[in-house]
Structure 1
Amino acid sequence: MSDDHTHVQEFFAVRAAGWDDRFPDDGPVYAAAVAELGLREGDRVLDAGCGTGRALPPLRDAVGPSGVVLGADLTPAMLEAAAGAGRDRAGQLLVADVARLPLRTESLHAVFAAGLIAHLPDPAENLRELARVVRPGGILALFHPIGRAALAARQGRQITADDLRAEARLGPLLSASGWRMTSYADEDARFLALAVRRL
């Protein structure tokens, strides 16, 4: 495991048990973001870097009982917290690295990724791997329950021009990784960038 992966695991492992308690009101904004994916009954979707699985219930609602919902995370403690909250009933939990997903090429209709991009060790390569597992025309949602300015303020820092989630950076990054950005919203109450897997 790389140093980047070890750092990410350590960061989230010590925070896993109380993670949901820190953000108790995020459920509706997750559900609203999932709704923008346009999922249909029977679709196959991955929550990449699923953490405690807050997106899994709305993803299950969107694809119905015949759909497939997967939640992948690098940190076992986060998946244990997801199972402890009963969210393993909404989707199958996988300990997996988004850099090397144990999924077939073009096997999914969509990927939902909340707060993931800031933790990717090689964003272009990792987004390319997400593109690999999504069929052409499928959707990627890069989400955060608060916008960039609100998140920076919470963390006591300034937004910088090299922020990967800045529209001017994210669009070209997605384009170089097999995606085409179709919408971008950076508001106090949410960040949501949608992209389509290029044909």
Structure 2
Amino acid sequence: MAHDHTQVQEFFGARAAGWDRRFSGDGPAYATAVAGLGLRPGDAVLDAGCGTGRALPPLREAVGAHGTVLGADLTPEMLDEAVRAGRWRSGRLLLADVARLPVRSSALDAVFGAGLISHLPRPAENLRELARVVRPGGRLALFHPLGRAALAARQGRRITDDDLRAEPNLRPLLASSGWRLVSYSDVDSRFLALAVRQG
């Protein structure tokens, strides 16, 4: 799995152009995951590692015209695709590293992260940075449109016990980073972990 910056940029940069076509059926799963954040009109939300911005339209819908939607990604090619798809209309796109966000502390109500956790170079530290920008009581959604077993099968590998997204690993990882895991769902059609920012 891609981990350091250059690897992540190369991995996603090379795949950016065909990304939306390959995963065109994922829209409803994204909408359901966004609903799990319980956003209200006027809220401020970040899509961390937003890729081509597929979560931005449902996030915008949730926070309304007066809300704030940010999409941050490390890979310029992915953001280019987001612009090409017109998703810049749903949120402000930032070429930024989720490890050092250009966002002030406690500024956000929620963070959405699709496929994010497998690509974090230093998971505990990176999740702490996400906690920094969210107000106490704010939420984090870690999402993937495929569950762990289905994703592993598609990639031709087996799930191992050291998978960060396994609940016994994820719960303490989040707890040590300022989050409390409040719900966890890992079925073939979706992986969704919701956490609340601790005071």
Query: Shorter-normalised TM-score: what interval?
Result: over 0.9
Instruction: Give per-residue Cα distances to partners, 1:124-178, cap 9 Å, x unaligned.
Output: 0000000000000000000000100000000000000000000000000000000
**Runs of 4+ residues over 4 Å off in structure 1:** none
Q: How many angstroms does 1:53 deviate by?
A: 0.3
Distance 2:141 2:34 in 1: 8
Please tell me the residue identity of whatever aligns with 1:36.
G
Q: Which residue of 2 aligns with 1:52?
A: 52
What SS does structure 1 have at the residue aligned with 2:25?
Answer: coil
Please tell me the residue identity of whatever aligns with 2:170.
L
What SS does structure 2 have at the residue aligned with 1:26?
Answer: helix
Q: Which residue of 2 aligns with 1:113?
A: 113
Q: How many angstroms does 1:47 deviate by?
A: 0.1
Q: How many angstroms does 1:51 deviate by?
A: 0.2
Q: Which residue of 1 aligns with 2:89?
A: 89
**1:153-172 paired onto structure 2 within 5 Å:** 153-172=153-172
What SS does structure 1 have at the residue aligned with 2:99?
Answer: coil
Name the Cα RMSD after superposition: 0.6
What SS does structure 2 have at the residue aligned with 1:81?
Answer: helix
Distance 2:33 2:102 in 1: 25
Please tell me the residue identity of whatever aligns with 1:43.
D
**1:1-199 paired onto structure 2 within 5 Å:** 4-199=4-199
Please tell me the residue identity of whatever aligns with 1:79.
L
Scaled by the length of structure 2, the TM-score of the pair is: 0.98
Distance 2:32 2:117 in 1: 20
Please tell me the residue identity of whatever aligns with 2:78.
M
Instruction: Give per-residue Cα distances to partners, 1:17-37, cap 9 Å, x unaligned.
Output: 100011011001100110111
Q: How many angstroms does 1:88 deviate by?
A: 0.4
Scaled by the length of structure 1, the TM-score of the pair is: 0.98
Distance 2:78 2:182 in 1: 31
Instruction: Give per-residue Cα distances to partners, 1:67-119, cap 9 Å, x unaligned.
Output: 00000000010000001000000000000000000000000000000000000
Unaligned runs of 5+ in 2: none
Give the aligned length: 197
What SS does structure 2 have at the residue aligned with 1:14?
Answer: helix
Percentage of pairs with the same residue:
75
Unaligned runs of 5+ in 1: none
